[in-house]
Amino acid sequence: MGGDLTVAIVVFLASAGVVMFCGAKLAVYGDALATLTGWGRLFVGSLLVALATSLPELSTNISAVQLDPPNPELAVGNVFGANMLNMFTLSAVALAFGGKRFLVQVAPEQGYLIVVAVVMTGAAILFGAVQWGANVGEVGVVSVILIVLFVAGMWWVYKNRPAADDEEEEDAGMTLQKAWLFFGLVSAGVVVSGFFLAWSTDEIADITGIASSTLGILLVSLVTTMPEASSTIAAAKMGAMDLGVAGLYGSCAFNVTILFYADPFFRNGVLNTQTESAHFVAGGVALGLMVAGLVLVLARNRIKSSIAAVALALMATAYLMGAVIVATVGGTEDEDGSSRSSPPVTTARTFDQ
């Protein structure tokens, strides 16, 4: 047992290091693509970087609904939990890089992307509440609506992206082909290392028996959003604030579409109907933090530095409080007896990724 635990910890640390390295490189090559393609940091961050950093969540959720028995609550919980943690990352990174000084470097056009992320998350919460189970083949109608909203929203973001600024006109230091090649390679690195992160976390939870909501909050949710966090920090260090913020909000929007991609693999119904009370708590907190971020971005030039710092600190605190509530609600449901017969370790992690 001790040897197995040691192996799992070593794999976790090694894969976490690879994810952090690749996530940082995503920002570098994503910034180069923003310049070389002329698409700009907002669109590249909201689509390419967001997609690459969310691929581990996608593979994890598809695997979750294919378990025996399936764990659809994990897939649904990952959507809301990851979005909630992305907003914590936004507030923490903004605080670390100057608060208002960070915010004033974010283009107001980010508001379009934030609205898309808010609408996507709000729609997922609403559809989960009404429990609409209509389906087309193996895919729920709700999942189709969500993917249509995402595509339309990304088109809207693209049409309203900022004009090329002085930074985007600078020499990227590489060719377009090289930028695409290395962006693809580090994206693959995120996917592969993300798989080993999830595996090692499962092993640690299983071996130690610490299959609790606390483990999910402190370890598993950190694992699933590590690519987004490292990419955002790297973007901030480069002064590419738009790229980092767009990557986070774009990830929030894309995470909701995971319901569409995972739905065909879930054979026991429609995925959006597998919601529980803890999902709504996490979704509500994520939604509130997204709106708070929108207000800060739009009012960045009119608020004092002290107010911006306090608001960002409150956002971070709201995430921590929300995580505690999610863990408490999830634990209560399990104690009362859930209808799902998955192993306890999976149940404990359902709402915190």
pLDDT surpasses 80 at 136: no
**Cα–Cα distance, 71 to 39 (Å, whole number):** 39
**Verdict on whether the full-model pTM lies above 0.85:** no
Q: What percent of the chain shows pLDDT beyond 90?
A: 32
Q: What average pLDDT does range 12-37 have in this prediction?
A: 84
Kindly indicate the confidence band of residue 170, based on its pLDDT and cuts at 50, 70 and 90: low
Distance, in Å, from the CA atom of 239 to the CA atom of 350, rounded to the nearest integer, reads 36
More confident residue, 222 or 155: 155
3-state secondary structure 92-145: HHHHHCCCHHHHCCCCCCHHHHHHHHHHHHHHHHHHHHHCCCCEECCEEHHHHH
Q: Is the pLDDT of residue 138 over 50?
A: yes
Residue 44 confidence (pLDDT) above 90? no
What is the residue-averaged pLDDT of the chain? Answer: 80
Mean pLDDT of 93-98: 94
- Give yes or no for a contact between 273 and 131, defined as CB atoms under 8 angstroms apart: yes
Residue 74 vs residue 20, higher pLDDT: 20
- Contact status, residue 262 vs residue 233, Cβ threshold 8 Å: no
DSSP output for 284-348: HHHHHHHHHHHHHHHTTTTS-HHHHHHHHHHHHHHHHHHHHHHHHHHHHHHHH--S----HHHHH
Give the pLDDT confidence score for residue 219 in this predicted structure: 58
Which CATH fold topology does 2-349 show? A middle domain of Talin 1 (1.20.1420)
pLDDT value of residue 204: 74
Domain residue limits, the chain: 2-349
Confidence band, pLDDT 50/70/90 cuts, at residue 341: very low
Of the CA atoms within 13 Å of residue 22, those in its CB half-sphere come to: 28
Lowest mean pLDDT among 40-54, 138-152, 189-203, 275-289: 189-203
pLDDT attached to residue 167: 44
pLDDT given at position 284? 93
Which position has the token pair 């739009």?
Answer: 298
